[in-house]
Amino acid sequence: MVYAVPLIIFMDDVSGNISKQWNKHHAIYMSNANLPQEMLEKEFFVRFVTSSPHAAPMELMRAMKDSLCDAANSGIVAWDCKDQEEVMLIPYGLFVAGDNPMQAEECSHVGLNCNYFCRTCNVCGTKEYKASHKGYNSIFMTTEDIRHQFEAALKPDATTKVQNAMSSTGIHDSASTSILESLIELGKKLRKREPGSQARSESDVTAALEKEFEEQLRGATLDDAINPLLGMNGISMHLDTPTEILHTILLGVVKYFWGQTVFLLEKAKLLHIFQSRLNSVDRDGMNAPSLNADYICHYKGSLIGKHFKSLAQVMPFLIHDLIPRMVLNGWSVIGELVALVWHTTIPDTEVYLVSLVRTESFKGVID
């Protein structure tokens, strides 16, 4: 028997130091997506792959990709303890998990500070354009955009041209940044005219830069130097980096909506009533019973994901007569969203989130 084994690949920066408060290093873990969800949540089934405080994230990912591709090409012979026979396993990447900044880097994406501020959707252009229906037309052409940046690096005024290319497309490849920056700096030096010397011709400068480019690649091609995850078999990076729930929803929408609601309660001097109601809530049936009312109301500005997960389920019942109707409608929709997040697949949730923002009950709150 030959079995395909889909793998969930996770990478993020962590710090487990005791002697230092923060010693950043990157780590990669994997999980077998064939396992039931209740098994995936157990620590035993999360397998450590590699970690380093020195290697860049894309260097670690290149080693992971090479190892995974070698295993997929040759197969892994294992023993099936259930059927008592040898089997062959063919592993492949299902999707790449992580927080939003790390996933953006894995997609060679700049992040929020560019016209293409999202790695998965098609929004681009000015703020007004992004809010229109036409703002959802362009698509990422990542590898081709990286090639255009290297072409711009060989031309005069390379710094401005490369920066414009990054901001207009949202593409920034961390794996090849060092080569790109060295070409830009060398171009500045070669084009700078020293007193009493003749300026180099543009053809000579281009030839020197191309030679330097070849030396930097060390006999490899540009495809070998850029993000190793682009073009990886079985994975489309922009589609297979599912939205991270914690920072996008709980520490995003829910956190800031909570802050505004607390502001309204404090302004009306009703926070003590809210605290009393929260303290008396029946927790039976809740899947995240983190409702320490004294702690939540005292440290209302320092709550974490588990608090927001619990609050989103009960807020409409606690504040129905304490805040404006428009804010109450917002909490009702948020509660429905949070419930869907933990009971549906990620693609369905993303579709719901988009439709949610467009509903009238939520539109006024956002405005």
Same domain for 330 and 264: yes
Question: At which residue do the structure tokens 């682009």 appear?
Answer: 230
Same domain for 219 and 252: no
Q: How far is CA 275 from each of CA 204, 298, 309, 342, rounded to the nearest angstrom?
A: 74, 10, 17, 26
One-letter amino acid of 50? T
Could you tell me if 136 and 121 are in contact, meaning their C-beta atoms sit under 8 angstroms apart? yes
| Residue 180 belongs to a domain | yes
Predicted local distance difference test score (pLDDT) of residue 221:
82
Q: Which domain holds residue 73?
A: 2-96
Plot region of 3 (φ>0 → left; ψ -120 to 50 → alpha; else → beta): beta
| Residue 112 belongs to a domain | no
| Residue 41 belongs to a domain | yes
Predicted local distance difference test score (pLDDT) of residue 87:
95
Same domain for 362 and 279: yes
User: What does the DSSP 8-state code read for residue 365?
Assistant: H
Cβ-Cβ contacts under 8 Å for 88 (sequence gap 6 or more): 1, 2, 3, 75, 76, 77, 78
Q: Are strands 85-97 and 2-14 parallel, antiparallel or unpaired?
A: parallel
Given 81, 96, 111, which residue is the final one in a domain? 96
Cβ-Cβ contacts under 8 Å for 65 (sequence gap 6 or more): 228, 229, 232
| Residue 192 belongs to a domain | yes
Provide the β-strand partners of residue 76. Answer: 89
Could you tell me if 107 and 241 are in contact, meaning their C-beta atoms sit under 8 angstroms apart? yes
In sequence order, what DSSP letters do the residues of 212-251 get, joined into one string?
HHHHHHTT--HHHHS-TTTT-TT--TTTSSPPPHIIIIII
User: What does the DSSP 8-state code read for residue 351?
Assistant: H
pTM across the whole model = 0.59
Same domain for 221 and 154: yes
Same domain for 132 and 74: no
The answer to whether the Cα torsion of 48, 53, 54, 59 is positive or negative is: positive
Predicted local distance difference test score (pLDDT) of residue 98:
83
Same domain for 133 and 73: no
Same domain for 318 and 276: yes
Same domain for 68 and 135: no
Predicted local distance difference test score (pLDDT) of residue 160:
87
| Residue 85 belongs to a domain | yes
Predicted local distance difference test score (pLDDT) of residue 362:
39
Identify which of 99, 23, 30, 40 has the alpha carbon closest to the alpha carbon of residue 60. Answer: 30
Predicted local distance difference test score (pLDDT) of residue 364:
41
Question: pLDDT tens digits for the chain (367 residues)?
Answer: 999 999 999 988 877 666 665 677 889 999 999 998 888 878 888 999 998 888 888 899 999 999 999 999 999 999 999 999 999 999 999 888 888 788 888 888 776 666 666 666 555 556 666 556 655 444 344 577 888 888 888 888 888 888 888 777 777 788 888 888 888 888 888 888 777 677 778 888 888 888 888 888 888 888 778 888 887 777 777 777 777 777 788 888 899 999 999 999 999 999 999 999 998 887 776 765 568 889 999 999 989 888 898 898 889 999 999 999 999 999 999 988 887 776 544 433 343 343 344 344 434 443 3
| Residue 237 belongs to a domain | no
Same domain for 208 and 253: no
Identify which of 338, 155, 183 has the alpha carbon closest to the alpha carbon of residue 249. Answer: 338
| Residue 152 belongs to a domain | yes
Same domain for 275 and 218: no
- Angle, nearest 10°, between helix axes 177-191 and 202-217? 150
Same domain for 258 and 217: no
Counted domains in the chain: 3
Predicted local distance difference test score (pLDDT) of residue 118:
66
Q: Please name the residue ranges forming H helices in the chain.
A: 37-40, 57-74, 100-106, 127-131, 142-153, 158-169, 177-191, 202-217, 222-225, 245, 255-267, 271-279, 293-298, 305-318, 325-341, 346-357, 360-366
In angstroms, the CA 6 to CA 178 distance is: 33
Same domain for 358 and 260: yes
Given 50, 81, 96, which residue is the final one in a domain? 96
| Residue 116 belongs to a domain | no
Half-sphere exposure of 319 (CA within 13 A, CB side): 28
